[in-house]
Structure 1
Amino acid sequence: MFYETDRRDRALLPHDPFKAMVAPRPIGWISTRGLSGAVNLAPYSFFNAIGGAPPLIAFSSEGAKDSATFAEESGEFVWNLATFPLRDAMNATSASLPRGKSEFEHAGLASAPGVKVKAPRVAASPCSLECMVTEIVRLKDISGQPMGAILTIGQVVGVHLDEAFIRDGRFDLVAAQPILRCGYAADYATIGALFQMARPG
Structure 2
Amino acid sequence: MFYATDANQHGLAHDPFKAIVAPRPIGWIGSKGSDGSINLSPYSFFNAVCDRPKIVMFSSDGKKDSVRNAEESGVFTANLVSRNLVEKMNASSIAVSYGVNEFELAGLTAKTGTLIDAPYVAEAFAVLECRVTEILNPRTLSGEPALNVMVFGQVVGIHIDETIIRNGRLDMSLARPVARMGYMDYSEGSEVFEMIRPKPPQS
- Normalised to the residue count of structure 1, the TM-score between the two structures is 0.96
Distance (Å, rounded) in 2 between the aligned partners of 1:113 and 1:105: 15
Q: Which runs of 5+ in 2 are unaligned?
A: none
Q: Which residue of 1 aligns with 2:84?
A: 85
Paired letter, 2:120 = R
Q: Secondary structure at the match of 1:146?
A: coil
Q: Which residue of 2 aligns with 1:30?
A: 29
Q: Which residue of 1 aligns with 2:130?
A: 131
Distance (Å, rounded) in 2 between the aligned partners of 1:58 and 1:191: 21
Shift in Å at residue 169 of structure 1?
A: 0.3
1:120 pairs with 2:154: no
Distance (Å, rounded) in 1 between the aligned partners of 2:8 and 2:134: 34
Shift in Å at residue 10 of structure 1?
A: 4.4
Distance (Å, rounded) in 2 between the aligned partners of 1:149 and 1:7: 20
Q: Secondary structure at the match of 1:7?
A: coil
Paired letter, 1:62 = D
Q: Which runs of 4+ in 1 moved over 6 A?
A: none
Distance (Å, rounded) in 2 between the aligned partners of 1:3 and 1:148: 22
**Any residues of structure 2 matched to 1:90-109 within 5 Å, and which?**
90-109=89-108
Distance (Å, rounded) in 2 between the aligned partners of 1:110 and 1:85: 15
Match of 2:190 among 182, 189, 192: 192
Paired letter, 1:191 = G
Q: Secondary structure at the match of 2:108?
A: coil
Paired letter, 2:158 = V
1:100-123 Cα deviation digits (max 9, x unpaired): 110001111111120110001000
1:32-77 Cα deviation digits (max 9, x unpaired): 0111111110000100000001111000001010001100111110
1:161-198 Cα deviation digits (max 9, x unpaired): 001110000011110111100011x1000013111111
Shift in Å at residue 152 of structure 1?
A: 0.3
Q: Which residue of 2 aligns with 1:56?
A: 55
Distance (Å, rounded) in 2 between the aligned partners of 1:130 and 1:78: 5
Q: Percent identity?
A: 50
Q: Which residue of 2 aligns with 1:42?
A: 41
Q: Which residue of 2 aligns with 1:66?
A: 65
CA RMSD after TM alignment: 1.1
Distance (Å, rounded) in 2 between the aligned partners of 1:65 and 1:8: 26
1:101-153 Cα deviation digits (max 9, x unpaired): 10001111111120110001000000000000011111221111122211000
1:167 pairs with 2:166: yes
Q: Which residue of 1 aligns with 2:4?
A: 4
Paired letter, 1:4 = A
Q: Which runs of 5+ in 1 are unaligned?
A: none
1:154 pairs with 2:153: yes
